[in-house]
Structures are given as C-alpha cells and as structure tokens.
Amino acid sequence: MSRPRLTHPPFLPYALLFLLIAGLTRLALALQTGLDKSPLSLWPGLFLRGIGFDLAVLAWLLVPMLLWAALWPVRWRNTRWQGGLRLAIFFTMAATLLFGALSEWVFWEEFETRFNFIAVDYLVYTHEVIGNIVESYPVVPLLAGIALLAALPTWLFRSRIRAAPAPAAQAGWRVLYAALAVALPWGAWHLADVDQMQFSGNPYANELAGNGLMTFIAAFRRNELDYERFYATLPMAQADRILTELGVERQPLSKALKPEADEDETFNPQRVPFKRPPRNVVLISVESLSAKFLGSFGNPSGLTPRLDALARDGLLFTQLYATGTRTVRGLEALSLGTPPIPGQAIVRRPGNEHLATVGEILRRQGYETLFLYGGHGYFDNMNAYFAGNDYRVVDRTDFPKSSIGFANVWGVADEFLYDNSLVQLDRAHAAGRPFMAHVMTTSNHRPFTYPDGRIDIPSPGKREGAVKYTDYAIGHFIDQARNKPWFDETLFVIVADHCASAAGRTKLPVPGYRIPLILYAPAMLKPGRDDRLASQIDIPPTLLDAMGLPGDDHFFGLSLFEQGEENRRAFISNYQELGYLKAGKLVVLGPKQRVDTFRIDANGNASPAEPDPRLRDEAVAYYQTAFKAFKESALKIRAKDMAR
C-alpha cells in the first residue's frame, strides 16, 4: 500500500508564523537600539545566529504538536470541526507570540536586554508588575491591537490553514512523529546554548542575537549560580590570605559584640570626621537615584536642589558604586556588607535569617532597628529578610489609611512614607532607645506618578519628574526632622539602592553603577567632599565606625574612614557577571571561568586590557569567599551567640 503524500508538512504554517514573529521582533529591537550601539557590521552575525536560536526554540515548541499527531485517534482527524480548530489554534498562537514580542519590547526599553532573571522574578509578583503595566501603558488599546494583528494573518490565510493536511495516521508516521518529539528537543538542547549569544564584543548585538523565550528559560534555570562550578577559583588558603592583606578580617559575631571593645572600635575623632558619635542613624536608600541626576555631579537640569543643599552641608562621597541593578542588591549591600554573589541576591534566598546584618549587630547592643518601606514588603522577600534579621518591619500595610495621601502600585508616595517613619522614630526616642532606621523609597520608579502641586512637573512626570519629586520629599522630611528632639543626635545617610539604568556598551558599564552617598549630621559632621573610590558594602562598617560601636570588622566591606589607597575598590555586578573595579581597571568574572580585564578612562569608558594577575586574584578572593560564606552559613549568627 502506497504511503500518502503530504502537500506540505502539517505544522508548516505554525512554524513559519513563529519564525516570522521572532525575526521581526529581533529586527524591531535592533532598529530601536540604533546603529550607534549595535553597528550594522554586526547585523549579519547576530541575525544568522538568531535564526539558529529561533530554530532551537521551535524544536521545543513543536513537541506538543508532534505528540498530538502521534497520539490523536484516527476518527477525530478529519472531522468537520478540525478546520475551525486549526484557525483557533493559529489565531491563539499568533496572539500569544505577538504579546511576547510586545513584552520583549517593553522589557528591552527598560533594561536593554533580552528576558533575564529579572523577568523570571517578575512572574512571582504579578500584583506589582501588572499594576505597574496598567499604570504605565495603555493596556486595553495594546491588547486590542494584538488581537487585530493576530486576526489579520488568520483571515488572510484562512483557506490554507483550514485545508492544511492532517498528520498522516499510519503507524509508521506515528512512530516518526513520536521520534521527532524526542529527537528535536534533544538536538536543540545539545546544539544550542544561551552562552553562544556572546559572539562579539558588543553586548547589544549579543543580546539581540538571542531568543527571548530561550533566555527566559535559561534565566529560570540559572537563577542560582554555583560560584565554585561556574567561576574562576583560588585555593581557599590563598583567598583568605589575599583578603587579610586587603584589610578584610571578618570576625565571629561573638567577638564583634564582646562587651569590651578594642581600642580601634571606640569613637576616635582623630580617625572619623565627627565631633561626637551619632546616637541614631536614619539610612535612606532611594529608589534608582543615579549620581547623574544630581546637580552635585554636574546635572544642569535643577532636578535635585534639596539633595544638592544637603550634599553641600554634609559629607558627599562622589565615587561610590552600587553593587547591582536591583533593589534587593542594594538592600543586601547596605544591610549585610557583602559583595554580590551570582544569581539571586541573598535577600531573596532561603536560609537568609539570623545573618550578621547591621540590624542584628545593633539590636544586640540595645538599639531599636527598623526597616520602613512604602510598598508591600512581601515583594522581593523584603519583609521576611529584614524580620528574620532583627529589624522591626513597617510597610504600607502598617500605615493608617488616613496617613496615605497618594499611592501607586509600587507604594505610597515618598512624603507619606517619611511621615509614617517620623511616627516610628518618635516612638523609639520616647522609649529612651537609640535607633537605626533603614527607609526604602519607591516614588522614583515607573509609572513615575506622585501628588500634584509639589513640584513644577505635572504627574506622571517621567523620570525627571520622579527624581524632582523624590528630591522634594527628602527635603520635606529633613525639614520636619529638624524640629525633633533627636535631630542633633542623628546621622542621616542618603544613598541609592541602584542606578536608574545600567545599560551600556559593556556588560558592566561603570557609569551605570555610580550613585551618590551623603552623610548629613550638621551638629556633628563638618561639610566636605570625598572623591575616593568606594562601594555600597562599605557603608555598614562605616556606620558602626562612626558610632564607635563594635562590629565593623565583621563585614567584607571596610569603613570609609579606615581605608588606605590599597583598599579602594568597588564591586559591580549583574545577575551573572561579577566586576571588581580598582586602580583604573575593571576585572569581570563570568560563567565558564571567564575572566576579562578592561581599562576604565576618566569618563568611565572601557577598553580591553591585558590581564592583571593581582587584580584577578583579588576579585576571585572576594567573590569566592562571599559565596562560600553564605553557602556554608558562615554569615549566620551561631546559636550560642544568639542569647542576649
């Protein structure tokens, strides 16, 4: 008996639809990026490589169809409703793929990268993310447009789709379909790897070559990267020796909190620029406050008059760098004083309770320690992390409704966060306890909405309006705090959690991590400007050093008041690349034990440089030891040290 002939493969319309939309998405993102960032000379390579990635993803997407063809009963293959079902499947697939393309466009606009682990995280927090999308974009018109675009090819090719042959039902064909359902993904798994995107020295072209679905799945799998498996390593004895030479002598918490402080752990006005030790600390981590927004850093737009005044009257650090590109990275650095480890921030990881954070250390010395957040603290596991590390958590759900004059999906407007924070600080002072409060803002975030009448940019005011409102709210908070009995005894620390954007021509563009740090305590601290290179992880030990309290030698970070020339370095990272900035060079550690070295000019531009063995070993020593310390619970407080 002759085998039936197929006019074309039964799944061809769906395969062509996927390849067309994937290719057009890549083209649209390339055009949006521009030739200045992704030169035309790289386009042949990125599109050819991109087609390969698209085919690899298609191999997986065909599996359900192949299994259907292998298992679907014969009597259901040519019924009258099959034509309508094919049209419905084609339309649904077209709409889904177009929605994915639109999502990629929006994600690229924000991060200038294909889907990565941030997109994976966002799926967990649907309330905030969907709310952010609804408040930032015309969702209904966009969805209607997707439906119309999906309906167009469905209508134009309806006859061909209806008439597409059903998969052959003979046993031989069924076996072939089943075999392909196994062979195609197996081949794609072994032939295509997301690391193959790195075909050039241009990160934009490398990202454009990828396929969003493939990078999403890869990010899902790699959300936690094992440093010792993927990155360059050193013998631990050598790593420990290097850190000791750099002044990192992390002590067990029991030693750091012993009743009798060492001489160098007491307040010394010869070492720190304070007239007397601050009794209280208010640490404000400002959402997405890039240094470039401030007039103090040369911005001519006048967006930050209040912050610029505080910088003039306080101690401004001009060369401080954030450790990462997300709030959780900033919170990790500002509370735990540790370099970033690959994958998720420690704030998001299991087993992150009872760590030696600033909150743990100060709580055991009689301080009221607070984490105050204007949003819902379940987002990014913030509440669980801070509550598990001896901070008293106060978030949006704890604010009286009457105290919230404006809010968006991310949280209450900053001024109302500060109002509620003042209530908590007054209570701590009235109880006779010194306090350390970590205040996390939300207003400088898309959809960039805020109360009317505060600034001269109407809401929503895009990034410029959000920055100016953020500045207004901080100034208003300081004005109110001046009237409090605890003001003259309090050190205000103003720093960003991360920059507004960290996109650039390299994976770790140095200017994209530069953030302001202002220490403000007019009754105790002389105004000044400090241009030394420093990291976010140096802030926790700096606070303890300024207060003359033990515990500053527990962190990987070093007090800014004790650093010598050999200690000045910064750590910058994304979810995979780990950077070590020192002496005008940037060492970047990447998966597959990759180590790259760049020379950084005065403007922050990077150019490839010869390897520097000493800097390479320093970078590995820091990151390897930080990963190992968390993995082996060396950052935790031991049970016998937990008794007060």
Task: Give the list of residues 6+ apart from residue 273 with CB closer than 8 angstroms, or none.
Answer: 315, 525, 526, 528, 561
Are 282 and 163 contained in the same domain? no
Residue 478 lies in a domain: yes
- The answer to whether the CB of 599 falls within 8 A of the CB of 613 is no
- From 177, 192, 221, the end of a domain falls on 221
Residue 575 has pLDDT above 70, yes or no: yes
Are 318 and 419 contained in the same domain? yes
Q: What is the CA radius of gyration of the chain?
A: 28
Mean pLDDT of the chain: 89
Are 20 and 135 contained in the same domain? yes
Residue 253 has pLDDT above 50, yes or no: no
Residue 370 lies in a domain: yes
Residue 341 lies in a domain: yes
Are 36 and 161 contained in the same domain? yes
Are 66 and 175 contained in the same domain? yes
Residue 606 lies in a domain: no
Are 547 and 421 contained in the same domain? yes
Residue 293 lies in a domain: yes
pLDDT tens digits, 511-540 = 999 999 999 999 999 999 999 999 999 999
Residue 46 lies in a domain: yes
- CA 232 → CA 510, 531, 583, 630, distances in Å? 22, 31, 21, 18
> Residue 37: helix, strand or coil by DSSP?
coil
Are 405 and 295 contained in the same domain? yes
Cα 530 to Cα 520: distance, rounded to the nearest angstrom: 13
Are 21 and 143 contained in the same domain? yes
Are 277 and 216 contained in the same domain? no
Are 323 and 463 contained in the same domain? yes
The pLDDT confidence band at residue 7, using thresholds 50, 70 and 90, is very low
Residue 607 has a pLDDT of 93
Are 360 and 490 contained in the same domain? yes
Are 436 and 521 contained in the same domain? yes
pLDDT tens digits, 579-592 = 999 999 999 998 88
> Bridge partners of 57?
none
Range of the domain at 185: 12-221
Tally of domains in the chain? 2
Residue 4 has a pLDDT of 45
Residue 592 lies in a domain: no
Residue 617 lies in a domain: no
Tokens found for residue 311: 């910088």
